[in-house]
Amino acid sequence: MDAVAVAVAQSLGGHLALRADGTIVGWGSPDIANVPAGLKDAVAIAAGNFHCLALRADGTVVGWGNNASGRATPPTGLTDVVAIAAGSTHSLALRADGTVVGWGNDTSGQATPPEGLAEVKAIAADGPYSAALLADGTLQVWGLRPEYIPADAVVPDAVDLVAGPDVLVAVTGDGEMYRFGRPDNLPPSLTGLRALALGHGRSLAVVGEPQNTFPISVQAAAGGTVTVQPQKSLYFPGESVWLDARASHGYLFLKWTGDVAGTRGLVTATLSPGFAAMAQFEPIDVDAELVGWGSNDFGVSRLPIDMAEVAAIAAGGGHNLALLNDGTVFGWGMDWIGQATPPSGLAEVTAIAGGSRHSLALRADGTVAGWGDDSSGQATAPAGLADVTGHRRRHHS
């Protein structure tokens, strides 16, 4: 089972294959074949001209190979990535909020997404051009667009994009292909297409037999929505997907049930036959609302809470915290590494603070609790730290 390839990628100098167990095999040029040691949790791969990218299960990106123009070095702090793509000398990442980040060679504007580009569900790149598939099925192309590829075609039932030399292919969840580009470069029609990589003079495809693939069931209870990335009708055993649960106005995301557990809205799941998951939401009192402004990624600026119970609030990089009058803490927003989920049993809190991806709480006994990202020790209070003081602000009308 571990030998099953779930994705393929082509570089000018070689090839990559992603196994169902999250490991990667590369062959050809050393720039391609030398996959970073310890990379065992990949969920997607991409390759350009002698450079490669891998998307890890934690939403970060790893690059290797030729790093001219910084093409193999993702921007610092790039997180919450759900898809990647690589052109000849540039790279792209699609974030969970539907926005696109580009880096590397930008001489033709290929690494700079169009202003206002949003609600993207798939990306692709090749040569000096980039493409995005929007939620409504519109294709948007930027950079040095080949003359054979339209700038704004519409494919309503497409779920993925694949780019090649003078070719752009939109793929439906059933594996059907809509092909745009130079006629002699178009790939043939394939039955049961699961993955496709288009190169210069050669191409790779993963074709799944019906007995090797299966559908999944992902649903949202009343009060919210769920998206699946990548969205397909059939999946391979061991393939990974992203599940993103978002609450509607007047509701909170509560938990996952079924084959996914936990209280984080954005999670990865490894699939097996019969996979089923449901996002549960709960209504909340909206007589009073917390007023927010700015970016609304992950619902941080619009999610209401009962302000009559709130003593203080704090804002982090993509999450918010509320200190309640009973000394407990409530969090919402981006919760990728648990920054919006206070530790179980946390009580007698008198003050709170939100960092970029971590959170802190001051207890009445002068000790500090931390949670979320602790990669630099920021969520772990120094040993022996005590007698910390803070001012608790009481809510009043």
- The token duo for 348 is 């007698």
CA distances from 22 to 40, 54, 88, 334 (A): 5, 10, 25, 25
What percentage of residues in the chain have a pLDDT greater than 70? 82
Report the pLDDT averaged over residues 138-160. Answer: 84
What local confidence, expressed as pLDDT, does residue 167 receive? 79
> Which CATH architecture fits 287-397?
7 Propeller (2.130)
Mean pLDDT taken over the chain: 81
Over residues 164-179, the pLDDT tens digits come to: 777 788 877 666 777 7
Which residue type sits at 309? E
- DSSP secondary structure letters along 214-245: B--EEEE-TTEEEEEES--S-B-TT-EEEEEE
Lowest-confidence range among 2-16, 74-88, 318-332?
2-16
5-208 and 287-397 in the same fold: yes
For residue 202, is pLDDT > 70? no
The arithmetic mean of pLDDT across residues 285-302, rounded, is 55
Segment 35-62 shows an average pLDDT of 90
Q: What is the pLDDT of residue 72?
A: 94
Specify the higher pLDDT residue, 25 or 147: 25
Query: In the sheet where 24-28 sits, what is the strand order?
Result: 5-11, 14-19, 24-28
90 has pLDDT over 60: yes
Residue of 201 and 78 predicted with greater confidence? 78
- Would the pLDDT of 75 be above 50? yes
Instruction: Say what the pTM is.
Output: 0.60
Domain regions of the chain by residue span = 5-208, 212-283, 287-397
Residue 272 tokens read as: 């097996």
Q: Are 93 and 73 in contact (CB under 8 A)?
A: no
100-116: average pLDDT: 94
Whether the per-residue pLDDT at 392 is higher than 50: the answer is no
H or E segment at 109?
A: none
- pLDDT for 154: 87
pLDDT of residue 391: 46
**Six token digits for residue 383:** 């040993």
Give the rounded percent of residues in the chain with a pLDDT score beyond 90: 26
Q: Which of 145-149, 291-295, 361-365 has the lowest mean pLDDT?
A: 291-295
Q: For 175-200, what is each residue's pLDDT tens digit?
A: 677 778 765 555 656 656 656 656 55
Q: Which residue has the higher pLDDT, 174 or 205?
A: 174
φ/ψ of 10, rounded to 5, equals -120, 140
Cis peptide before 230 (omega within 30 of 0): yes
Return d(Cα 149, Cα 160) in angstroms, integer: 16
- Alpha carbon 156 to chain centroid, angstroms: 22
Residue 168 pairs in a beta bridge with 163, 180
Q: Give me the mean pLDDT over the 1-7 stretch.
A: 56
Question: 5-208 sits in which CATH class?
Answer: mainly beta
Average pLDDT over residues 71-82: 90
